[in-house]
A and B are shown apart, each in its own frame.
Chain A
Amino acid sequence: MSLRRLASYGPAFVLGVAILLIWELAVRTGSVNDFYLPAPSAIIVALFQNWDVIASNTLQTLLETVLGLAVSTVLGLFLAILLDITPWVRRAIYPILITSQTIPMIALAPLLIAWFGLGLGPKVVVVTLYCFFPISVACADGLFSVDADLVRLMRSMHASRWQILWLVQLPGAMPSFFSGLRMAATYSMTAAIFGEFVAAEQGLGVYMKLSFNARVIVLVFAAILVTALLSLFLFGFVSLIERIALPWYHGARRRI
């Protein structure tokens, strides 16, 4: 990352530090009850003291998240291609796709547990239900927006429908696909935790719930901190893959 780009995060950094300082001060001076809102320093200390337990729970949640994202990516791409193939398939599938997003997850999650049990499966399903939609919609938009003249050019070369999809539409849809994936990545972790909250044996969601029930609020915050950091990391990771996969889109002058 260039220095200039790093510097553009300056204002956000200053504001973040300011908020943390005010928070810390408010707790230390006793104007806020540190039982309900522990100081940032206390959260970090608690995080390090309980690292073993938190780490193993984090690993479980991360596994669910990554699996869910992987399934979402495959499903999202598949649906986007399906939507693109013929108008009647699009007319048939699109409304169902939209409807799937109107189902309140909070009602569905307990059902998923009832159907698939307490294991990994239902969490992966919850993450997928949250994440496939932005991926498939963004990717489908990318596929639709192909230049009609380009399709004509390909047809003049006697390219098949699949060749047009593979050589022109899919590569052209990659920037849209990645913006969908980045969006999905940011809330995939939250989705996994939501799944765990409903019922699970392990994971950050369970850990938060147990800590809350035991009235150790500081550990709830420690788990929130881990979640936030990992979500940011996932976002950054997807952006990094995009930069590597689409050098042409990020202003590269030539193949390196």
Chain B
Amino acid sequence: MGAPKLTLQGVTKVFHTGRRTLETLRPIDMAVAQGEFVTLIGPSGCGKSTLFTIIAGVEEPSSGVISLDGEVTTQRAGKAAYMPQQPLLLPWRTVEENVLLGLDVRRVPRKDALEQARALLKRFGLLEFADHYPGTLSGGMRQRVALLRTVLFNPQFLLLDEPFGALDALTRLSAQMWLLDLWQSLHASVVFITHDVREAILLSDRIYVLSARPASILRVVEVDLPRPRVQEHLALPRAVQLEQELVALLLKEQTL
């Protein structure tokens, strides 16, 4: 096995607004191996999303070292495919044009970009919507399109920030299975944010449990359930036990 996809060492973030300082991240250490599915779970507003914007290169950490593929780098923007909580599809672009947004940023010629976008849409069963505007799609479909936009930008390394948070239970389950299928066929490294314990268990190889703000890592849990995962795995004794453990841990962090 080569160098880990991502390692964080002592990453902190402190925001200064006027005279007030807001400590968001306590020193965070974590690692994601190539092809690994890692989930960050923690109470709402704990700073998970801030950590993501730092990994994605949108924000700089206040201290700490981040390496990608074994190389320490400060120029991270453009190296991971980041998917924010909202699908943020551009309403004036059709589905296929939204999917190729990242290639437009990289100035890939439109013909090539369209070909790649269509191939991806076809592979994941969305080709019939290629020329639809996002305004006409359901919430679940929009998230899938946003996910494919993320994948087309970089199929090797995905940062997914609560991608299914706004979906109803059934749509969410089908989107989760769709994501697992996508992850397996792409051999991608994924960092996933959620505050849904069952979702974390269903999807991940490893779970980092974060504390309430300022976020620090409370515990790292290996999810030793068989792959490929199916929804029924959540009923296995090991899964139930994990769920109880994690819920208990998170409940302590929950402030009213």
Chain A residues packing against B (C-beta within 8 Å): 147, 149-150, 152-159, 163, 167-168, 171-172, 174, 246-249, 251-255
Contacts and interface: CB of A to CB of B under 8 A. Distances in A.
Contacts of B91: 248-249
Nearest to B137: A253
Given A152-B53, A159-B105, A246 B77 contact: no
Contacts of B105: 154, 157-159, 163, 167
A150 B102 contact: no
Contacts of B102: 157
B92 A155 contact: no
Nearest 10 CB-CB pairings of A with B: A158-B78, A156-B56, A158-B77, A156-B82, A255-B131, A254-B132, A157-B105, A159-B105, A248-B133, A253-B136
B30 to A, nearest CB: 19
Interface in B86-112: 86, 88, 90-94, 101-102, 104-106
A253 B82 contact: no
B84 A157 contact: no
A152 B86 CA distance: 12
Interface size class of B (residues with CB under 8 A): 20 to 34
A54 to B, nearest CB: 42
B10 interface: no
B58 A155 contact: yes
18 contacts: A149-B85, A149-B86, A150-B88, A152-B58, A153-B82, A153-B88, A157-B102, A157-B153, A158-B77, A158-B105, A167-B90, A167-B105, A172-B90, A247-B133, A248-B91, A248-B135, A253-B133, A254-B131
A147 B133 contact: no
B90 A149 contact: no
A246 B78 contact: no
A149 B133 contact: no
A38 to B, nearest CB: 49
B94 A147 contact: no
A149 B57 contact: no
B246 interface: no
B92 A172 contact: yes
Given A158-B57, A158-B77, A248-B133, 6 more contacts: A149-B86, A174-B92, A248-B92, A249-B92, A254-B94, A255-B94
